[in-house]
Amino acid sequence: MNSHFDFENILVDTKDLSQSGVVTITLNRPKVLNALDTHTLREIVAALSGIKELSPIVVLTGNDKAFAAGADIKQMLAAKPSDQINDDREKLWTEFCSFPFPIIAAVNGFCLGGGHELAMACDLIIAGDNAKFGQPEINIGTTPGAGGTQRFTRTVGKAKASYYALTGEMFDAFAAEKMGLVAKVVPYRTTVVEAKECAKKMAQKSPMALRLIKEGINAAFNTTLNEGLKLERRNFYLTFSMDDQKEGMQAFLEKRPPQYTGQ
Ligand code: DAK
């Protein structure tokens, strides 16, 4: 493996990249339930930046006990507002969210606070049946800071987001599925396998089309309906300048699998 993929707090597995177009990033701070300190976020963003040119589909996961139990409370305890403002976490979150290709969160165990926010910042969540979600910041005298009042509310609606963010109660994978927060619940031993299968399916599609769809879906969170529809239409028109659109439609008519080049 290339040396720039050697990190302290994450494992980056690129062995499936050339065959199936999938990279797996595993959060690896098991002693603190994968608490997300700034260094870990920096490593995730560096890993994404290192693979971006290869148009990969990314699976982001943790271990059986925790996807991530939130931002690192030890790191935050003594912080002043100025430390928070000057910290580059905000920039790192923005960079994470602007990764152009799909990121699938494969979530087992605790997925709390910043961990939940990180999973929601992915394109979709596949949850193991042992997953526990929540925004417990209220239990430690603070508030969510990376989407726990925003993405969460837009995804599950005001009543559920208010209930969970204001009580700090956790909810399980099946409740999360019912609320539309997770795409699928699977036996926890198979979560990463299922996420990789889903990633492999995506990796067979046109990377540019995937990118445009991701952009469109994210726009549904950020813009008015009319603005979003305009962007969607422009992206649709744009595909007609792509070899991949010609190839996809040609292959359909010739009853053969398409061979996309990403052009
Ligand atoms: N940070 C640091 N250490 C943590 C941790 C965390 N979030 N969560 C767990 N740990 C550590 C524990 O301190 C313990 O360490 P030792 O005592 O062994 O040294 C070890 O992990 C195992 O945890 P427990 O002994 O507590 O394990 P249990 O199974 O008994 O309980 C638990 C598991 C997940 C229920 C519990 O650990 C827990 O409640 N953890 C804290 C969850 C939490 O409050 N998370 C929210 C943190 S605040 C922002 C971006 C993001 C954020 C804010 C701003 N910007 C971009 C501005 C996010 C904020 C947050 O996430």
CATH class of 207-253: mainly alpha
Domain ranges of the chain: 10-203, 207-253
Give the model confidence (pLDDT) of 161-212 as tens digits.
Answer: 999 999 999 999 999 999 999 999 999 999 999 999 999 999 999 999 999 9
Give the model confidence (pLDDT) of 134-158 as tens digits.
Answer: 999 999 999 999 999 999 999 999 9
Architecture of domain 10-203: Alpha-Beta Complex (3.90)
The answer, yes or no, to whether residue 16 has pLDDT greater than 70, is yes
The answer, yes or no, to whether residue 248 has pLDDT greater than 60, is yes
Instruction: Report the pLDDT value the prediction gives residue 84, as an integer from 0 to 100.
Output: 83
Look at phi and psi of residue 106 and say left if phi exceeds 0, alpha if psi is from -120 to 50, else beta.
Answer: beta
The answer, yes or no, to whether residue 1 has pLDDT greater than 60, is no
Mention every residue, 6+ apart, whose C-beta is less than 8 A from residue 95.
Answer: 45, 48, 49
Report the distance separating Cα 54 and Cα 186, nearest Å.
Answer: 29
For residue 30, report the distance from its CA to the centre of ligand 1, in Å. Answer: 11
Q: Which residues belong to the active site?
A: 71, 114, 117, 137
Residue of 27, 32, 33 with the most ligand 1 atoms within 8 Å of its CB, for mutation: 33
Q: Confidence band (pLDDT; 50, 70, 90) for 116?
A: very high
Ligand 1: which atom is nearest the Cα of residue 65?
A: 29
